[in-house]
Amino acid sequence: MPHIFGNFHQVLDLMLTFFLIAAGITLICVTLLWILSVKLTNASIVDIFWGMGFVIVNAVYFFLLEETFLRSILILVLVSLWGIRLTVYLGWRNSGKGEDYRYQEFRRTYGEKRYWWVSFFQVFLLQGALIMLISLPLLGAHYETSSNELVVLDYIAILIWIIGFFFETVGDLQMARFKSDPENKGKVMDKGLWKYTRHPNYFGDTAVWWAYGLFCIAAGSYWPVLGSIVMTILIIKVSGVSMLERTITDRRPDYADYIKKTSAFIPWFPKK
């Protein structure tokens, strides 16, 4: 029994060490990004870093491993694909649009003269902390894996990741095309994947993070799945679905009818 607890504490200490190393690198990244935001007077550049932040943290976890296995290599590839795609998309979408209205509102609330330093804690440091918390399933999957054997849960995770990545990528592409047509201004997007869920991109993002959670469980690590739970809560209740639908009905009157016939989150056939 003491031997078992000794191994447990050894693994926990090792995971904590690598977590702190990744946290230190993340702190450097968000600090440099904050300095750039002050120069540009644009705090919303932090949104572009969201996906890349996970790519960096996951890469740190991976390259600090003494020995790499198939599951870790798979996670490195999947997280990199997800994060780079999201970063490129958000960079393209936000290019030339200036600061997002949310950060402009914060700037007005706190005052221009002090928001430059308030934004470091309220926006950049907060996002860095969330990246570290949400990255826990990646940490658990990497450091609890001890062989090249993949189990059933790994294959389920791969399937869920593919579904999630499809919904997120195709949903973003369909919405971008819809918005690029001037005739659609003020209209509601209810075609393609948006016919089956009001938020295919958010559903896809959530599915991707539960895939990482399943990889973590497949490795024999359970408590780090907390990161997948936190991401789900953020997407549904905080910064995603809930926040968007509080304001969109005012801007698009037809959205109320869209709500009545279309699933809020999990894809399903529309009501007649």
H helix intervals, the chain: 2-40, 45-63, 70-94, 101-110, 112-119, 126-134, 136-144, 152-180, 200-218, 226-233, 241-251, 255-261
Q: Under DSSP, is residue 45 helix (H, G, I), strand (E, B) or coil?
A: helix
| pLDDT averaged per 10 residues in sequence order, the chain, 272 residues | 49 85 98 96 94 98 95 98 97 89 89 90 96 98 94 98 98 96 90 96 97 97 96 90 76 83 94 84
Distance of alpha carbon 87 from alpha carbon 153, whole angstroms: 28
For residue 148, the 8-state DSSP code is S
271 is a domain residue: no
270 is a domain residue: no
Nearest 5 degrees, angle CA 84-CA 85-CA 89?
115
pLDDT on residue 3? 41
Please answer whether residues 56 and 134 qualify as being in contact, where contact means their C-beta atoms are separated by less than 8 angstroms: no
Range of the domain at 27: 2-261
Sequence letter at residue 162: I
pLDDT on residue 2? 41
129 is a domain residue: yes
Please answer whether residues 261 and 196 qualify as being in contact, where contact means their C-beta atoms are separated by less than 8 angstroms: no
269 is a domain residue: no
Distance of alpha carbon 204 from alpha carbon 2, whole angstroms: 43
241 is a domain residue: yes
60 is a domain residue: yes
272 is a domain residue: no
Residue 101 is encoded by which pair of tokens?
A: 């209205």
Residue 211 is encoded by which pair of tokens?
A: 């895939």
pLDDT on residue 254? 81
Query: Number of structural domains, the chain?
Result: 1
267 is a domain residue: no
